[in-house]
Structure 1
Amino acid sequence: MQLDRPVVELLAGLPAWQGIAVIFVGFLALAALVHTLGDRFVRQVTTRIDGDVDDIVLRSLHTALYVSLGLVGAYVATDFYDISPGIAVPLEAGTLSAIILVWMVTLIHLGRRVSTAVPDSKYVDRQMVPILQNVWSAVVSVVGVFLLLVLWNIDITPLLASAGIVGIIVGLAARDTLANFFGSLSLYLDGTYRVGDYVVLESGERGRVEDISVRSTVVRTRDDILVTVPNATLNSAAIVNESTPKRKRRIRVPIGVAYGTDIDDLEALLLELAETEGLVQDRPSPRVRFREFGDSALNFELLCWVSNPALTARATHNLNSAIYRRFQADGIEIPYPKRDISMSVSGTADAFGHAPDSGAGELSTDGGR
């Protein structure tokens, strides 16, 4: 680094230890100036950023800034006064290597701190932050090591060839882990589900998504059992997300009534019961549909909405109970299948010489399912 001529003349007239101190303090003062002006500018630019992410970034970079300019000051002072540090390491390469290491460590720690403080937003999913943090650390480490190798004139061609072979071996050994990792990326990018969503897995389990990690997804079923499913499996399976695009869910309550029932009165009764149920939403409004003429009943369906997928079972229970009690009170028949069974008996005398009744007998019974 070349200094201005007046500065060179000033430093040349000072003892070595004083000149080194002046240069070192000067670089620290420069760091303080950059710190003050840079913070002021950055805070004006990031005033609209939610959370403490910008403050964490600034606090994390301060130490690296001071250490870097301090190392540069030490290098300039040592080079100016031609003072040998007493080590067999080139001064310039050693200084740059130390600066690279400082910034590597700083940026990796910065990624970890930001990952714990980043707020939920429409731009960054909180569940994706740990994955991004791991990718960030890997990228910073690879770039830092690459710069160090180039700085020390180390040929990286053999290393790249070895890295390719090692990569193939690691890829084969950790294919399941890699499949789960890329599966988590695909699930995030596709927006398949988020923590808090109610999903139905391809195997039939239904529950709330409790956690999404790099390797797997945890679902809490209605029986309060935690089911852990690898992301690679979920990425290739059919998943029903009951919480999207809206959390409102429609429930269907099938009802069968006897032939001869007044269908208009039945429809009014079912709508009345749906409107009085506290879990049922007013919008969209409940409705009744006449589905089919069954073998033993007229089959209707009560359709209504609840605010949350978790309420579907409770709302169905409440409606079924209210409908049954009202049908009993109003004398509305809920039919069940009836079957006539005919039996014919004929034969010869038994061992005691008693002859069976001649002719055929018929027995009719009603049975229900």
Structure 2
Amino acid sequence: MELTFFSQLDSFLRGFPLLHEYDLLERLVIVCIYAVLAKVFDLLLIRSLRKLAKKTRMHFDDFLVDFFHRPFLATVILIGVLHACSVEPALPQSAAWIIPNGSKTLILMVWCAALSRSLSRTSLEAASRILGGRHIDPDIFLLFKNVSRILVLFFTILWILLIWQVNLSPLFASAGIVGIAIALAAKDTLANFFGGISVFMDRAYKVGEYIIIESGERGEVVEVGIRSTKILTRDDVMITVPNGIMANSKIINESAPQPRFRIRLDIGVAYGTDLDMVENLLLRVADENNQVVKQPAPRVRLRAFGDSAVNFQLLLWVRDPREKGRQTHLLLKEVYRVFNENNVSIPFPQRDVYLREQKVES
């Protein structure tokens, strides 16, 4: 039967009587041998794999090499500690229980910390490159990222308890009572968590879109988290709204279903003006603006005969909702300039007051 690496190393070390006489020195030598092996693996295997990964077009292999590098080296050294604990003579009972379990715990924590760190540092662009350039929805990516970190932490704690042989039956038995207490104490937090899940599932809005919430605030969605949604207003004010409120509120999404925004400009001209000329001037103003989309095409509608003016409405779409205020400003300025050039009068409200003299009887 072929000998394992452990037994082969033990057989080799028996050839040194001094090491067998001083068991602490033997254990230290074993750990040093594993540390040297880890360095050899780093120099020969890991670096060779990194060079090969850089030659490929895929980014996933680069991610795997970077992910396995440090945890793998630490694992080799900690396996050396476990090997050192297994040689004769046996360690004292307390040390024989603490050191191996501590080493196993460190191995688990090294890998879980590496996974959690990779999840935290991975951006949307990096994840897209790792998956071969596939499109990833930002909201789904954030949901996966946040939930994955919570699951990694939960299973790490559970596995550590199993390593230390903690009886989990009483823990699970009392979990129902503790769960009820936590649910009552943290009902708002749980409502926000499930509200966040509802927001992700309903897809009412995404990061980068402009929304108006029921209380009237308008801004760009900059982050959709598990607990809350962050909105940046046009005044550069950050608003944080709990997802429990967002899930139960009316939300106007100005960026959906198409990433454009409609602007309505109400314009009045004096009675007696050539209406066809006014319509053509307004359409020309819209066509000359490079932020106005061509499809759907801008249009002009005659809305009403007012008390002092003939009321037109210019309807058009701009490429980005964040341009609403600026483009309204520029379009109104251009309309005023064009009307002045073409002698189109923009009337203001006027009232005629007649005074009637009343005769006084003598």
TM-score (norm 2): 0.74
Trace 1:262-277 onto structure 2 (pairs within 5 A).
Answer: 262-277=274-289
What letter corresponds to residue 103 of structure 1 in structure 2?
A: L
- Tell me the distance in 2 between the aligned counterparts of 1:9 and 1:314: 81
Measure, in 2, the Cα distance between the counterparts of 1:188 and 1:52: 30
Indicate the percent of aligned positions where both proteins have the same amino acid: 36
Distance in structure 2 (CA, Å) of the matches to 1:194 and 1:145: 33
Match of 1:74 among 74, 84, 90: 84
Find the residue that maps to 2:300 and give its secondary structure: strand
Deviation at 1:287, TM superposition (A): 2.4
Cα gap change, 1:334 to 1:276, in 2 (>3 Å)? same
Counterparts of 2:153 and 2:239 in 1: how far apart (Å)?
35
Contact 1:104–1:141 under 8 Å retained in 2? no
Aligned equivalent of 2:59: 49
Q: 1:15 aligns with which of 10, 14, 17?
A: 17
**Deviation of the 1:173 alpha carbon:** 1.1
More helix by share: 2
Is 1:161 the equivalent of 2:173?
yes
* Structure 2: tracts of 5 or more residues without a match: 21-25, 129-134
1 CA distance for matches of 2:137 and 2:324?
A: 31
- Structure 1: stretches of 5+ with no match in the other structure: 347-354, 359-369
In the TM superposition, what whole-angstrom CA distance separates every residue of 1:273-317 from its partner, at most 9, and x where no partner exists?
223345434454432233455566543321223232122222222
Question: 1:103 matched to which residue of 2?
Answer: 108
d(CA) in 2 for partners of 1:281, 1:260: 32
Question: Corresponding residue for 1:83?
Answer: 89
1:356 alignment partner in structure 2: 360
Contact 1:248 1:308 in 2 (8 A): yes
CA distance in structure 2 between the partners assigned to 1:191 and 1:270 by the alignment: 37
2:71 corresponds to: 61
Q: CA deviation at 1:57?
A: 1.4
* TM-score relative to the length of structure 1: 0.73
Alignment of 1:1-369 (within 5 A): 3=4, 12-15=14-17, 17=19, 24=31, 27-28=34-35, 31=38, 36-37=44-45, 44=53, 48-49=58-59, 53-54=63-64, 56-76=66-86, 78=87, 82-90=88-96, 94-120=99-125, 121=128, 122-123=135-136, 125=138, 129=142, 135-292=147-304, 297-334=309-346, 356=360
Give, in angstroms, the shift of residue 11 of structure 1: 5.0
SS of residue matched to 1:74: helix
Partner of 1:361: none
Q: Which amino acid aligns with 1:64?
A: A
Matched pairs, number: 343
Give, in whole Å, the separation in 2 of the partners of 1:211 and 1:6: 56
| DSSP 3-state at the match of 2:214 | coil
Bigger radius of gyration, 1 or 2? 1
Structure 1 contact 195–209 (Cα < 8 Å) conserved:
yes
What is the root-mean-square deviation of aligned Cα atoms in Å? 4.1
- Structure 2 Cα separation of the partners of residues 160 and 152 of structure 1: 17
CA offset at residue 10 of structure 1?
Answer: 5.0
